[in-house]
Structure 1
């Protein structure tokens, strides 16, 4: 199985540290990138359209963030989708238990799942092995 690249988009600095350690410990990913909000990540996506190999295979996306939240990120990603030749799978990772958020996540074809924080190594194994 080819190791995939993963991005974590989340404004919680402590959670970023924890999830990065879990990802490293899993040894299932070839590269990890972290972003504090959707705007930082969408800027990298936009700048990488000519080199889709630098885009991630998987994104762990928080919903509630400043500057650009998870839903705004998904809207921007949708507008860029026609220029992206690589499939990017998104998992919402949120502390929100609102049924509206879970239902909204199902309206995006690129969102494969909705996970509650904190994610664990078993979640990562499922994510990494899901082709």
Structure 2
């Protein structure tokens, strides 16, 4: 890999899933740093705060977003994030990662320009490797 991802972000309230993905990312050395938020509001607060201080290394290159979370779900996060994402001046690739196999959820997610792809949990090691490899080239 010529360029390792500097910062990735997981927005998900499922601690077992988050720990599994973190372990894969660390073991495979896919990125330098990883941020985790338990719900969309926590993540949105972070992104709104860094808008005032546009520190490039504080902006993730990849976001993995769950749909079903407390406080603010993935749909609400997407609606708000889409309004501010262009202000960062950096490409942010967003993947919806959900346990929902409902075709309506998948179609809705894929119809949002900010969403690169829709992945169904559990995400495999191979999926993560391909995502990080494609992002870093």
Q: TM-score range by the shorter chain?
A: over 0.9
- The 5 Å alignment of 1:77-116 reads 77-116=81-120
Q: Does 1:123 align with 2:124?
A: no
SS of the residue corresponding to residue 90 of structure 2 reads: coil
Indicate which of 4, 22, 25 corresponds to 2:24.
22
Structure 1 gaps, min length 5: none
Query: Tell me, which stretches of 5 or more residues in structure 2 are unaligned?
Result: none
C-alpha RMSD of matched pairs (Å): 1.1
Give the structure-2-normalised TM-score. 0.90
Shift of 1:53: 2.7
Deviation at 1:102, TM superposition (A): 0.6
TM-score between the two structures when normalised by the length of structure 1: 0.94
Runs of 4+ in 1 over 6 A off after TM superposition: none
> Deviation string for 1:41-99 (max 9, x for gaps)?
11111111122331100001100001111111111111112422111111111100000
Q: 1:2-81 counterparts in 2 under 5 A? A: 2-4=3-5, 5-49=7-51, 50=53, 51-81=55-85
Equivalent position SS for 2:85: helix
* Counterparts of 2:111 and 2:82, CA distance in 1: 12
